[in-house]
Amino acid sequence: MSIAIRIKDLEWKYENTTEFALRGVNLEIEEGSFLGIVGANEHGKTSLVMAINGLIPQSYNGIYRGDVQVFGKSVRETDAVELASQVGLVFADPEAQFTAMTVEEELVFGLENLGLGLAEIRERLEWAAEVTMISELLDKSPYDVSGGQKQRVAIACVLAMNPPIIIMDEPTSMIDPLGKGLIFDILRKLKEAGDHTLIVIEHNVERLVPLADQMLLMWQGNIAKLAPTRQFFEDPSFLIERGVLTPEVSEFAEWLRLEGYLEEGTPLPLNLEDGVEITRQVLEARRARA
């Protein structure tokens, strides 16, 4: 597997602030992997992803040290069109990213920027609308649809441009549970297709965990922990001290272990199915003993 993103000693300070938002980040992300990013507010998650898509430093002023490379090319030396064709970024606030009058125009805008022809634009438009389930909305104003639909439109805009790297910054923060589910369905489809490197910032670890290959914890402008998903949650107190909630079933299993019902060294469950399975084993062991 080759490396899609390589970050070396990245430091970044926004102008008019006193503290560095990023403090010596080093990170390599493999092509085709799914990275989940967690961390408390204001610890640099958004800044990190903006450094990957080039918004930092191209659209912001500040102090920049170190280097970010996307497919071996430094983002500082890559222009907006080329970057947009390589890294797609979905922002947390879907409304903030709309620039057009109808959903269709919104989708088409990026494709026209890439310099595609009419036939290809149509094809990609239809594909992206279908994957994100917004085909019905094409004729509407992006402002006149529900919050969940807005975010799916925003995702469709990025998908249509088909960048090999897709980043989503808290894509479900403004959406109801059902809408959240739909967004994660899209993510699952993308992961199964395996064509993209996916990076998702998300507070809702329960939903992120089943998809992520690796998890990353941002803390005070740096990476506090980076590990394959299962290992990442092995030391819950480390995460909790840094403001990250572990999945509730892990906490439940941790409690079982502390109470002595679960053998030391049993891997903690990360999703409900595993949790049920572990609980079943515990109960059966007790029944057998009785």
Partner 1 sequence: MIATATTGVNAAPARVPKARKTLLGHVPIESPLYQFHPVTRLIMFIFFGVIPLFIYLPEVNFLLLWVNMGIMRWGRVNINELRKYMPVIFTVAFFMFIVVVLAPGEDPSYTPLDVGPITIYYQPVFFAFAAYWRLIAMLFGTILYFSTNRERDMLVAMRSLRLPFIASYVVGLSIRSAGMFLEDFRTIREAEQARGLDTKAMRLRDQVKLYMMYLVPLFSIALRRADEISNALFARGYTLTGRVGGGGKRADYIRAQYKLRTRDWVLIVSMGLIFVATAIVQMRFGVFSIEYSPLNIYLKQLLGIPG
Ligand X SMILES: Nc1ncnc2c1ncn2[C@@H]1O[C@H](COP(=O)(O)OP(=O)(O)OP(=O)(O)O)[C@@H](O)[C@H]1O
| Residues marked as catalytic | 170
Q: Least distance to ligand X from the beta carbon of 55, Å?
A: 10
Of residues 202 through 231, those in contact with ligand X by CB under 6 A are 218
Please report whether residue 169 would count as binding partner 1 according to CB under 8 A: no
Q: Which is nearer to partner 1, 60 or 252 (CB)?
A: 60
- Selected binder of Mg ion within 25, 37, 46, 91 (CB under 5 A): 46
Please report whether residue 129 would count as binding partner 1 according to CB under 8 A: no
Please report whether residue 143 would count as binding partner 1 according to CB under 8 A: yes
Q: Least distance to partner 1 from the beta carbon of 54, Å?
A: 8
Q: How far apart are CA 211 and CA 161, in angstroms?
A: 23
Q: Count other Cβ atoms within 10 Å, centred on residue 17.
A: 10
Please report whether residue 80 would count as binding partner 1 according to CB under 8 A: yes
Angstrom distances, CA of residue 193 to CA of 98, 114, 161, 167, 172: 27, 23, 16, 16, 21
Which residues sit at the interface with partner 1, rule CB under 8 A? 53-55, 58-59, 79-85, 88-89, 91, 93, 95-102, 104-105, 108-118, 121-122, 125, 140-141, 143-144, 157-158, 161
Which residues sit at the interface with ligand X, rule CB under 6 A? 14, 17, 21, 39, 41-47, 218
